Amino acid sequence: PTLDRGELLGALLELAGVPAEDRRKSEWKRKGDALLAERMKG
């Protein structure tokens, strides 16, 4: 799904308020790192 700029900005602002120890942050990082690695492959 495509997010518009306002929706994306709002989501990032909410993410900034999530405590560092929240387990969701490590899940999000794992997923993001996997996607970035896949894109770097080619």
Segment 22-39, tens digit of pLDDT: 999 999 999 999 999 999
Taking the C-alpha atoms of residue 11 and residue 5, their distance in angstroms, rounded to an integer, is 10
CB 4 within 8 A of CB 12: no
* Domain range enclosing 32: 5-41
Q: How many residues does the chain have?
A: 42
9-25 per-position pLDDT tens digit: 999 999 999 999 999 99
Q: Residues with Cβ < 8 Å from 25, sequence gap 6 or more?
A: 18
- How many domains are contained in the chain? 1
What global pTM score does this model have? 0.69
What is the pLDDT at residue 1?
A: 63
